[in-house]
Amino acid sequence: MTYSLVNMPVLGFDLCRLSGGTALAEILLRALELDERALHELATAPRPPRRRPGQAPALAGALRELRAWQDDPGSPVASTRTVHMLERSMIGDFDGLVRLVRDDILSWTWSEAGSVRWQLPDAVGAVDVLADAMARVYGQAERDGATAVAPYDPRSYPPPAVLTRPLTADDVELGPCGPAVRALLARIAGMSRRQADALRAASGGNGSRTHWAAAVHDASWAVYLTDRLRPAAAAQLLAVRAFAAAGFTPRDGAYGVWNAVSGAVQATVVGDLVSSETAELLGDSCDKAFAAA
């Protein structure tokens, strides 16, 4: 699957389970905020030697492990390895992240005449810088201050200010329901241990999966029809940050906690449009967690 602004909850699912995912979310947030001046700053910045991205387990590999386990279901080693790979396997890949930046996030930098399309020269250079920044953290263990993106060596290659300046939820455009989205994200990030445990317990328990999936579809369709793709994308990336701040783990992401967080955020982005039933269903797990004393 290729990442896009339409399926940002899927990207968030990958990022919350990927080593370096929080740092990647920070880079993508900054990419969403770029203007022509920032593009030029990135395109003309001194660049360190190109880095190859780290490795992340792909879904295809996990499926091969699953088939091998089916051939030898009695093997506890194969069973444990298969479960671990399914928990951590990525739906997309690094190339998909680069395409997301180049084609979707920076779609405003493209022009066309007839069958010919071209991108602003500064945008081409900026994509190279952003791709290198993402390669430096993709699949890498989170470091202290992982939200400080692109671990360049400041003695030789000072990172562009646009990549390192502090970025809070107040700095990001989150659409007409921005205040409600920011409040929800702050509550998720500030969850107590008891509330986090309550969210783990509640995740996946809201009615049938069919009803939950239909509610997510309704909220995502509302995002698309009202042209809130960019605010919704920013909200999902901020949700990755909040997920980590609350102390949730990649395993939590694999077992429903990310779905609960992401669904609540998506519904809140279009809280003025979706039905009360959709909003209640997608927000139910978080509401139960917040109610935990």
Pick from 244, 243, 257, 240: which is nearest to 11 by CA? 240
- Residue pair 54/177 in contact (Cβ under 8 Å)? The answer is no
Cα distance between residue 173 and residue 190, in whole Å: 21
Residue 147 confidence (pLDDT): 43
Q: Which amino acid is at 66?
A: L
Provide the residue-wise pLDDT of the chain in tens; the chain has 293 residues: 689 999 999 999 999 999 899 999 999 999 999 999 999 999 998 877 777 777 666 555 555 555 555 555 555 545 555 556 666 788 899 999 999 999 999 999 999 999 999 999 999 999 999 998 898 888 876 654 444 444 455 556 677 888 888 899 999 999 999 999 999 999 999 999 999 999 999 986 555 677 888 999 999 999 999 999 999 999 999 999 999 999 999 999 999 999 999 999 999 999 999 999 999 999 999 999 999 96
* CB distance 129 to 89 below 8 Å: no
Whether residue 21 contacts residue 90, with contact meaning beta carbons closer than 8 Å, is answered with: no
Say if residues 101 and 91 touch (Cβ distance below 8 Å). Answer: no
Q: Where are the domains of the chain?
A: 8-56+93-164, 59-88, 169-291
